[in-house]
Amino acid sequence: MTTHAARLRDERGAVVSVWTAVIATTMVLVLGIAVDLSGLVHAKQQAGDAAAQAARQAGQQLSTGALLQQGRLEVRTRQARAAAVDYLEAIGMTGTATVQDGTLLVVTAQASYRPLFLSGMGIGPVQVTGTSSVRVLRVENGTER
């Protein structure tokens, strides 16, 4: 017949095994969240960078006629929008481009981030956006004209 003390001695490792399993599961979950959150931040930065590059591309679409005839810069609206959207599509993103006041270009890029670890828990793709604006200026000798 086994005594109470002998039974407790035989089951000492069971408590340690349960705690080890709980701690290991928690650590994997924390690591997964950290990896997915850093991936999400990186995807957001990429969308912002893409929007900036698309805005620069759109800013190259200038009306030379307005510059030569009236001495002012003006963006060709339709071509600027098309240039920005074409750039975004070429790198696998979607987005919009608007021209305000003839010289301000605003581009918004959208992308999708698929979590690596959290997708196993049912968290699907997350949409990220980045926005950038560019103002086209004419400068002579350091002075805006």
Could you give the residue ranges of the DSSP H alpha helices within 60-105? 64-70, 77-90
3-state percent breakdown (helix, strand, coil) of the chain, nearest 5: 55, 25, 20
Contact between 109 and 129 under an 8 Å Cβ cutoff? The reply is: yes
Of 25-29, 95-99, 115-119, 124-128, give the lowest mean pLDDT range: 115-119
Q: How far apart are CA 21 and CA 19, in angstroms?
A: 5
Q: Calculate mean pLDDT across residues 2-23.
A: 69
> Which pLDDT tens digit goes with each residue over 31-90?
989 999 999 999 999 999 999 999 999 988 877 666 656 666 777 889 999 999 999 999
Spatial distance between the Cα atoms of 48 and 83, rounded to a whole number of angstroms: 17
Q: Which residue has the tokens 């918004």?
A: 108
pLDDT at 77: 86
Spatial distance between the Cα atoms of 59 and 74, rounded to a whole number of angstroms = 10
How many angstroms separate the CA atoms of 89 and 129, rounded? 14
pLDDT for position 8 = 54
Phi, psi of 75 (to 5 degrees): -85, 135
Residue 74's pLDDT is what? 72
Between helix 12-59 and helix 77-90 the angle, nearest 10°, is: 150
Q: Which of 9, 17, 33, 3 is CA-nearest to residue 121? A: 33
- 72 contacts 66 by C-beta, under 8 angstroms: yes
pTM for the model stands at 0.75
Please report, for the chain, the start and end positions of each structural domain, with discontinuous segments joined by +. 4-144
Segment holding 49, helix H or strand E: helix 12-59
Categorize the per-residue pLDDT at 143 as very low, low, confident or very high, splitting at 50, 70 and 90: confident
